[in-house]
Structures are given as structure tokens and as C-alpha cells.
Amino acid sequence: MEINTTEFVGSFPKTSLCPTDGRAELAFIGRSNVGKSSLINMLTGKKGLAKVSQTPGKTQLLNFFLINHFWYLVDLPGYGYAKVSKVKQKVLSGMIKSYLFQREALLIAFVLIDPNIPPTKIDLEFINGLGEGNVPFALVFTKTDKMGKVAVQQSVDRFLAALSETWETLPPHFVTSSEYRTGRPEMLEYIDGLLKRHKPPTKA
């Protein structure tokens, strides 16, 4: 699959305000400062589509982008550390959970993981929460240009081993680098397969 057109649709503070046209939605989420915006820009081939910031927690709304006039890429707020108040963190957490657990059009959540650090409790707990909520997901290891190939593989294996303590079947995973566009063809092929199997709801 090639991405030919991208269009920013809007930013929404709650799920009930999001588009209701039934188009498939693929969400991207990860800890704050995991490289989500860079990955989205790399995948779409449109620099600046998602705003890249050095400040963790910059994304605080549900951001919808229409891809190829056919499906939505949804940029979700990060979880974990962010320079926002406890009250705001609670609001963001509620918004994320509402979207992930209630959104019928959601095909999959791509959970971004930084392999430069050991598996974190917050990542593992978030992933386990997706499993408990029956939310389909895949892992995307980012920022691999900062590591050697051997170190990347060791880090990925370490994270998958940590997951295997609670998961019998491990989710799909992708190794990416926004700097070198690593993993882009594999992710787009996977997304294409998901979309081809997707059956939109029948209109009454």
C-alpha cells in the first residue's frame, strides 16, 4: 500500500465527538516522548503532519487524519510521564480508555515502545490492559537508529520475553527507525492487509 493523500480532520476532546462515518481507524499510542509523531510522519511520508515536540505530553486530544480518503490514522495522547497536572492526567487517561475500549471503528492500536530502555512497568501494564479489554494491538519499536542491530534485537527479545510471562501468544511487532525509514514497508503492508479484511458497518 502507498499513502497518496493525507488530510487533518480534527482534534477531539472525547470519543463522542469523533467522526461517525464508519471508516476504519488505526490508532497510535505510546509513552510520552517515544517518537510517535516522527513515526507517523515517516509512515505517511508527510513531514510535519504530526507535530514533533521535545516536550513530553504535548498531544492532549484525539487527532484524526484521513488517509487515502479511506481510513483514519488516529494520534492518541501519550501515557505515563507528562508535564501536566494530576487532574489533567486523569482526564487524558479517561479519554484514552474511552476511545480504545469503546470505539467500534478501531481496527488496531499500534503501541510504540522505546527499545533504548529496559521494559517498563507502565508499558507492560498498558499492554495487559489492552488484552483485558480485548483491544487488538501490535508493537512498534522506535528510535532503533540510536542502537546497533545486535542491541536492537536483544532489546526486542527482552521485551517480548517480559510479555511472554503473561501472554501465551505474542502480538505482531515491527522494528522501525524514522531517521532511516526502517520498517515502513512492513507496517504499510500489514495495514493494507487489515484494511482489506475490514468490513465497514452496513448503513441502515
Q: Of 23, 31, 29, 25, which Cα lies nearest the Cα of 50? A: 29
Please indicate, yes or no, whether the overall pTM of this predicted structure exceeds 0.75.
yes
User: pLDDT at position 199, please?
Assistant: 75
Contact 36, 59 (CB under 8 A): yes
User: pLDDT at position 51, please?
Assistant: 75
Convert the pLDDT of each residue in 15-33 to its tens digit: 999 999 999 999 999 998 8
Domain ranges of the chain: 6-197
Measured CA to CA, the distance from residue 130 to residue 119 in angstroms comes to 17
- CATH number (3.40.50.300, 3.30.420.40, 3.50.50.60, 3.40.50.450) of 6-197 reads 3.40.50.300
User: pLDDT at position 204, please?
Assistant: 43
Measured CA to CA, the distance from residue 48 to residue 169 in angstroms comes to 36
> What's the average pLDDT block by block, 10 residues per block, for the chain (204 residues)?
94 95 96 92 91 61 96 92 75 94 97 96 96 97 95 97 96 96 97 90 53
Convert the pLDDT of each residue in 172-191 to its tens digit: 999 999 999 999 999 999 99
